[in-house]
């Protein structure tokens, strides 16, 4: 999987997961809230920002095969067959970074 797809999918699924949990809590009448915010939507501020930390092993590679482009991919293993021939040079690296997000909230009126 390409790094950009992994990041986009991960962040999207985190947001969707938080929203699903909020919706299920409300629908089931459970006491308590998930990611509470006091006041109205207009009252939301920078205190709601949370960092999603990534610590990823990636491989940068060059492949000598027609139709295959080099690039940065999240580390995975695949084995080819069918008598194909390929020369690949790769280097595995670890990268760490964080992305600030504001996840869905449950607003609680004062």
Per-residue model confidence as pLDDT tens digits over 68-97: 565 667 765 444 455 555 556 667 888 999
Structure confidence by residue, pLDDT tens digits, 34-60: 998 888 777 778 888 999 999 998 877
Give residue limits of the domains in the chain.
3-108
**Which DSSP string do the residues of the chain spell out, in sequence order?**
-BHHHHHHHHHHHHHHHHHHHHHHHHHTT-SS-SSEEES-GGG--GGG-EEEEEEEEEEEEEEESTT---EEEE-------TT---EEEEEEEEEEEEEEE----EEE--
């Amino acid at each position: 999987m390409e790094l950009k797809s992994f990041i986009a999918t991960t962040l999207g699924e985190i947001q969707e997961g938080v929203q699903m949990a909020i919706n299920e809590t409300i629908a089931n009448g459970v006491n308590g809230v998930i990611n509470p915010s006091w006041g109205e939507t207009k009252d939301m501020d920078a205190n709601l920002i949370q960092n999603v930390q990534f610590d990823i092993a990636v491989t940068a590679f060059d492949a000598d095969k027609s139709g295959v482009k080099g690039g940065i991919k999240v580390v995975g293993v695949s084995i080819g067959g069918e008598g194909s021939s390929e020369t690949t040079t790769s280097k595995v690296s670890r990268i760490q970074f964080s992305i600030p997000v504001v996840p869905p909230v449950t607003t609680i009126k004062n």
